[in-house]
Amino acid sequence: MSGCAGTGATPGSRPRALGSASETRADAATAAALHDLVAASGATAVAIIGLVKNAGKTTVVNALLAQAECAFGLTSLGLDGERTDHLTGLAKPSISPPAGTVVATTEGSLARSGYQLEVLETLPFHTPLGHVVIGLASGDGCVEVSGPTTLAELRATIERVAAHGARQVLVDGAINRLGSASPRVSDGLVMATGGMVGDTLDEVVETTRAALDMLSLPQAPGEVRTQLEPHVGATRAVTVGTDGDVMPLELQTVIGEGVAVAREVARRKAATLYIGGALTEEFVDDFTRVLPPRQTLCVVVRDATVLVMPPNSVARFERRGIALRVLRPLHVLAVTVNPFRVPQPYRPKLFFAAVADALGDRVPAFDVVNGLSSPAPSGAAMKAGEKVVQ
């Protein structure tokens, strides 16, 4: 791997935080365990989502690429973030794909990177950075990865990357652009969290747990999905009564209509409410404020990527006794943990233990730089004098 920002390391250097924009190298055993988990999932496309900047997402992508025994594919939804970190003033980590990686990026990103890509195909999707191109990585240097701007184009790009030989496609994403994790695009998800998620350790832990709750929302019962199926994609809001009577609401959009929807749900004594588009924090505030407190209700959305709100806001439904469900669940494969924060990183072991304890056994957790995992990968060797966090 070449010496790009965020991808190299000095032998014998002390552990570093993933998102510090300093040079880092993944712990081989931990990176291999994460890679094996992703590979064994059978997912065709895996979104790597960072909850905030400096969550270590790019280092995780590099770690997965470096471990691949067969060719990974790589692309993104749009362009994620600035080239220089506005907090540290240092260069953001770059992606250094091994030779043979099938990369989909834009003409503009290639030019800015000065990267030599063996172009295999130019797609008709035009972005602010030019057309999307697919090619084979040379293994020499770093490339800026950007991609199409719509989910339909991203899905088509992933299909073309796979057609050129990629066994799995990594999709670089971010929490404020959850579209890359949509089941219409990806069938696996790795969530990257870190010390910049909150102002305190308690806030980091709570926000990370809430984000996992949001991304892991359970699927609606089969009977409810059957009732709603004829209306998916055609109706903005639908109520289902206790008698099974399905009635669309006459709305062009639910944005700004939380009060009106809550009143209609109460009037109809609905047991289920389906929201066909984005579910915003403003809607949740208005809806939960007006809905009668003792009404039993299940609110169903297409999938967790349509929730346009902070993860902690999802808990408002639960506090009101409202069940929030999805038609298509996301498959969270793992959570990666990065102790970096400004002005001083957390101590890696203490930080990882706090996050891993909060997640419990719901999903495996990894710090791919400092060699920590929970549960520990079977057969992994512990560093001398260290205890693997369980």
Alpha helices in the chain (DSSP H): 28-40, 57-67, 107-113, 151-163, 201-215, 222-228, 258-268, 281-290, 315-319, 348-359
pLDDT in tens, 188-237: 999 999 999 999 999 999 999 999 999 999 999 999 999 999 988 888 89
What per-residue confidence (pLDDT) applies to 82?
53
Q: Which amino acid is at 46?
A: V
Low-confidence ranges of the chain (pLDDT < 70): 1-24, 80-93, 174-177, 376-390
Identify the CATH number of the domain defined by range 28-216+330-374: 3.40.50
The domain spans of the chain are 28-216+330-374, 222-326
- Cα-Cα-Cα-Cα torsion 256, 259, 264, 269, nearest 10 degrees, comes to 130
> What does the alpha-carbon distance between residue 362 and residue 355 come to, in Å, rounded to a whole number?
12
Q: 191 has which bridge partners?
A: 49, 335
- What's the pLDDT score for residue 87? 52
Task: Give the Cβ contact number of residue 198 at 10 Å.
Answer: 18
DSSP string computed for 293-332: TT--EEEEES-GGGEES-GGGGHHHHHTTEEEEESS---E
- Please report the pLDDT score of residue 79 as a whole number: 79
What is the predicted pLDDT for the residue at 91?
Answer: 59
Contact, 84 vs 90, CB < 8 A?
Answer: yes
Query: What was the pLDDT predicted at 321?
Result: 87
Q: Which pTM does this prediction carry?
A: 0.87
| CATH among 3.40.50, 3.30.1150, 3.30.70, 3.40.140 for 222-326 | 3.40.140
d(CA 261, CA 304): 20
Give the pLDDT of residue 108. Answer: 94
User: Rounded CA gap, 356 and 341, in Å?
Assistant: 18
144-178: pLDDT as tens digits: 999 999 999 999 999 999 999 999 999 988 666 67
Say how many residues make up the chain.
Answer: 390
Is the Cβ–Cβ distance between 125 and 79 less than 8 Å?
Answer: no
For residues 218 and 76, the answer to whether their CB atoms sit within 8 Å is: no
